[in-house]
Amino acid sequence: MIMGPLGGWSMRKVDSLWDGKIKPGFEMLVNNFAAGIWGMVLTILGFVVMSPVVTWIADRLGEGVDILVDNSLLPFTSVIIEPAKVLFLNNALNHGVLTPLGTTEAAESGKSVLFLLEANPAAGAGLLLAYMMFGKGLAKASAPGALLIHFVGGIHEIYFPYVLMKPKLILAMIAGGFTQILVNVIFSSGLRAPAAPGSILAVYAQTPGDSVLGVTLSVLAGAAATFAVAAILLKMDKTEEADDELVGATAHMESLKGKSSSVASVLTGGAAVMTRPIHRIVFACDAGMGSSAMGASVLRKKIEAAGYSDVTVVNQAIGNLTDEYDVIVCHQDLADRAAQRTPSATLVAVDNFMASPRYDEIVQMVGASRG
């Protein structure tokens, strides 16, 4: 949880030490050796220094959850969980605390309510239903599609911009979260294992027979509670709502996430809008060497000549791509494969890595993204 972001940030700092100073064709050699050596250093650091700290924090949080369970106060965790979800802190809480504790409990009793604290889609469904009924403009129009993605697809981040647009709606989310947890506690319901993603289908797939009623009632009650509170807040809100509020909230969500959202186009009407400047460009080919390395070198010189010194241009094997880049350049025959691995990036397909007129278009794209 900690070493991942630190590792990525520090690796970029290490790469910047010789960025643009390596002769074309040797980038892969230097970068691979640097990544291996620095990765070993971070591994040792994480094992010796960070592991005891993280273990201590997890133990204290676990004790806190035990206190809440023993005193029937578990529903109050929604006060922490619901704001944490919107701020993209839920993974640290879920995977660092709830899932390990829930796994231990499920191994002993066959199920755990802790798996339902964060994954239950009830509160988000209630919010989006309220927007469908009482929202305005683009928020109202996009809510049905967002509801399907959230409730069935299990991608909860789709509703985050609706809360960021009107922060007072976090009260509705807390009300729904509190209600669904309370119902599950009353009925002693739980899941056999984590529901991932947080789709209603995944939830029922992990629900044992004696918890079906409790889980069903928790979804209905949680959604109803959020809907009721959100409906009141939306009806009381007399401010004019411009369509660009949702677009701006979506951009804010992506800034909190640290990268583009794969479902953002549903909220922005499908418009391909750059919500932040381009900083990372990757060339991809089958092996991640040879032609892509030379193409990256050509574009890197053009980017530097245009004065965009903060833009990194790297090359990568298509099989090793991760969805962390702003722009991906690949041969036109590999476009479909690249799009599947980097759905958030802008795809530029070329037929010649060494002399493509599209490189000038990319430089112009970088400039436009700064506007």
What is the full per-residue pLDDT of the chain (371 aa) written as tens digits?
444 445 555 666 666 666 666 666 666 667 677 777 877 887 888 778 877 887 787 677 667 767 776 777 889 988 888 988 888 777 777 777 788 888 988 999 999 999 999 899 999 999 999 999 998 877 888 888 889 889 998 888 888 888 988 899 999 999 999 999 999 999 999 999 999 888 999 999 999 999 999 999 999 999 999 999 999 999 988 776 554 566 556 655 555 555 555 555 555 544 444 456 788 899 888 765 567 788 888 888 888 888 888 889 888 888 788 888 888 888 877 877 787 788 778 888 887 777 667 788 788 888 877 75
pLDDT at site 290: 65
Q: Is 330 a catalytic residue?
A: no
* pLDDT score at 1: 45
CATH classification (class only), 280-369: alpha beta
Return d(Cα 53, Cα 50) in angstroms, integer: 5
pLDDT on residue 272: 42
Rounded to the nearest 10 degrees, the angle between the axes of helix 78-86 and helix 170-186 is 130
pLDDT at 245: 60
pLDDT for 213 equals 97
- What's the pLDDT at 61? 66
Q: Which of the following is catalytic: 128, 285, 311, 330?
A: 285
**pLDDT value at position 202?**
93
pLDDT of residue 63: 74
Residue 198 tokens, joined = 């947080």
- For the record, the structure tokens of 229 come out as 């509170």
Distance of CA 346 to the CA centre of its chain: 18
- Only one residue has tokens 């009793």, namely 109
Sheet bearing 312-317, strands edge to edge? 312-317, 280-285, 327-331, 346-350
Domain coordinates of the chain in residue numbers? 75-265, 280-369
Q: What is the pLDDT of residue 8?
A: 54
Residue 285's pLDDT is 82
Tell me, what's the pLDDT at 3?
47
Given this model, what pLDDT does residue 243 score?
A: 47
Q: Please state, in angstroms and rounded to a whole number, the distance separating the CA atoms of residues 260 and 345.
A: 8
